[in-house]
Amino acid sequence: MDEKHGIFTSTRWSLIERLKNWEDNESWQRFFETYWRLIYRTAERAGLSSAEAQEVVQETVLSVAKNMRQFKADPALGSFKSWLLNITRWRIADQFRKRVPAQKPSPASSDDATGTDVLERVADPGARSWEQLWEEEWRQNLLDAAMDSVKKRINPIHYKVFYLHVLKKLPSAKVAAVMKMNIAQVYIIKQRVTGQLKKEVERLQTRLP
């Protein structure tokens, strides 16, 4: 995939380094706010229930905290995105293991493992690869974060127009009627908000880990 369309391709390694300090509550809060939806949606798309996906989020964050000091914040040694994907997969596999009747002891989960046999057995054979799934959710997570940021800064009416026309895909004529404005205004608002959203995505790509 073209790198300019990648998600969080410019990793802010200084923030990753700060996560090694367990007492840096601000950085950990930022990490959680940035990634919880990504982890949650990936778990749901893997076939887990909402409650199970919530547990995956909690356990993934705990695993990151436990292993963060061993992570080498160096792009030459591997991406943080891939490292987080592996931890998320292991925690999803743990949830699937809990569904298996306890007829015999199963191997203990390990953050040092390289495979997730339980997960691979349960996963839909026709499903896309984990890397593709993670990339899709990574992209959506960035767009959500950018949209949340833009929404706080723009006129609420402009956001509603953008929401109806772009996100809900209503025809411009219907949006104009609902918002009591002409179609040209709907088009102008759409273009302005889209421009702000693109700039925010670019900004986040350079700031978020």
Q: What is the pLDDT of residues 83-121, one digit of tens each?
A: 889 999 999 999 999 987 654 555 544 444 444 455 554
Compute the average pLDDT of residues 136-158: 92
- Stronger pLDDT, 153 or 203, i.e. the higher one: 153
Q: Best-predicted range by mean pLDDT among 5-9, 78-82, 160-164? A: 160-164
Helical ranges in 100-182 per DSSP H? 117-122, 130-153, 156-162, 172-179
The reported pTM is 0.67
Percent share of the chain, pLDDT over 90: 44
Instruction: Say which amino acid occupies 82.
Output: S
Domain 3-128 indexed as CATH 3.30.930.10:
no
What is the residue-averaged pLDDT of the chain? 80
What's the rounded Cα separation, in Å, for the pair 56 and 177?
A: 44
